[in-house]
Amino acid sequence: MDQQSKELSSSALKRRLLVQALGSAALIGGVALSGRAMAQALTTDSQPVLDVLIIGAGLAGLTAARDLQRAGCTSCVVLEARDRVGGRTYNHPLGNGLVSEAGGEWIGPGQTAIFDLARELEVETFPTYYQGRTVYLAGDAKYEEDLSKAQGGGNPVTEKLNQMARRVPSKEPWTAADAPEIDKLSVGEWLASQGLDNVGRLSFDTSIGLTTGTPPSSLALLHYLSLINSADCSMEKLEGFKDGAQETRFVGGSEVLCTRMAQALGDQVKLSTPVRKIVGWDKDIVEVHTDQGVFRTRQVIAALHPALCNQIVFDPPLPEGRAQLQNLWPSHAPMRKTVHVYERPFWREKGLSGQVVQADGPLILSCDNSPPDASVGILMGFVRSAQLTDEPAAAERQLAQIYAQALGKEALDVKQFHDHDWAKVDPWTLTCVGSIPPGFLTRWGRYLKPAVGRLIWSGTETSDLWASSMDGAVRSGHRAALEALQALVDSRRHA
């Protein structure tokens, strides 16, 4: 077992033991109380009362439910507004057991929480294919460069960002000593002062835009530095494929993690059950009003994007700080991903990685999304919605012609095409990643994580590490479960 595996296994073991200890209340005054016993001890004479109700069946919500179940807290349900689990992970079925991810898909070094979860769920991983030359397009011009052999480090602008990130803690970036000054700037404003040429600026704009879902001109420098801080203060690790956060993929697609957790939870997961109103979050018993009826519970975990909380009516109204954070949280980075399926990954035969960057068209970046055995070739594309038609056949042809220019005429022979615009699929995914503007975190950040009454906030945006990633979602689920167990134990102790 290599050192990283040992560290990950040790981390998982410590978390499991802590969850079990809290679940049995062994840490609080010697009171031994499992979730089942607690439910029996505190049941009212009226409608049954849950111990914990979780809103959202994505990675955060299902991780929390799984931890609660393993701690013995069986009086728990997960409510999901969609007719599926997975949240911002979603697989396109391609037939013959093959899939391509429409949402989050990559993980990398340092993202130990999701690696742990995958091993526990027996979901295998495999390396992302990025070997070969990347193709850059600008009008009719084409340029190729093999980035997979590039040596890390050495870029003075990147090094400046890495050094600055050391002063901005990912857990609470608004507490950095010079946070007010940093938070006045956008990443774009800062980059404009660094003397980059057009090629360099395009490279930064593309990578930062894909990670954060917004152009650098709209992105807070403080927020971006906090993301780099999560990645060991290395922009290369945050943005990169080789030794970076895009290095590894899941066999069967990322959504399989949620599918397996939901299967183990069984009928504790309620689909097509949007929450409309939460009453009495400041009382001992909270009423959660949904399209499928009213649930009563002692604790609520809201595993939601902060802006999605605005679709719920809170009675009484939330405290001003939390309410304003939700109202003002940006939700304009929905992302749109396309998939072209081919008979084989023909670009590999030409020494190409499948990565295409277009400076002035609808394609932001394409990646090789083929399965581990390369039994078919799959190109996934991040696209600019405003520059690509919504008509499927026309969109397929438009992108195929771009791929043909970059990779060869074989790109015109498309076997399948899929298009997933997160802005249009449903009302439950306002945005895929966190696109925080300047001035936001220093004013409202402190209201993001603290519980309000019986409401515990979860979701990747609340994670202390790797916020906005799948790993951050898993971490936030673990934390929320522990907070809920602690609150239940405290309430029993004071009963």
Question: Which residues define the annotated binding site for FAD?
Answer: 80-81, 275, 461
Name the binding residues for substrate.
Answer: 382
Six-digit token string for 27 = 């840490």
Residue 166's Cβ-side half-sphere holds a number of Cα atoms within 13 Å equal to 5
* DSSP code, position 408: -
* Cα→Cα distances 115→248, 390, 433, Å: 10, 36, 20
| 71 phi and psi angles, rounded to 5 deg | -85, 0
Name the binding residues.
Answer: 80-81, 275, 382, 461
Tell me, what amino acid is at 353?
S
Residue 349 buriedness (CB in 10 A; 0-12 / 13-18 / 19+): exposed
Cβ pair 72, 313 in contact under 8 A: no
Q: How far is CA 237 from the centre of its chain?
A: 17
Tell me the three state secondary structure of residue 132: coil
Q: Which residues contact 72 (CB under 8 A, 6 or more apart)?
A: 20, 23, 24, 34, 35, 36
Q: Which residues contact 160 (CB under 8 A, 6 or more apart)?
A: 194
Nearest of 470, 472, 464, 16 to residue 250 by alpha carbon: 470
Distance between CA atoms of residues 366 and 266, nearest Å: 37
For residue 260, the surrounding DSSP H or E stretch is helix 255-265
H helix runs in 71-130, sequence order: 112-120
Six-digit token string for 336 = 């749109």
| 176 phi and psi angles, rounded to 5 deg | -60, 145
Tell me, what amino acid is at 226?
S
Bridge partners of residue 297, in order along the sequence = 50, 286
* Cα→Cα distances 212→204, 221, 239, 437, Å: 12, 12, 10, 11
Instruction: Quote the longest CA-to-CA distance of the chain.
Output: 75
Cβ pair 456, 300 in contact under 8 A: yes
What string of H, E and C letters represents the secondary structure of 114-131?
Answer: HHHHHHHCCCCEEECCCC
Handedness of CA 481, 487, 488, 489 (dihedral sign): positive
Cβ pair 329, 307 in contact under 8 A: yes
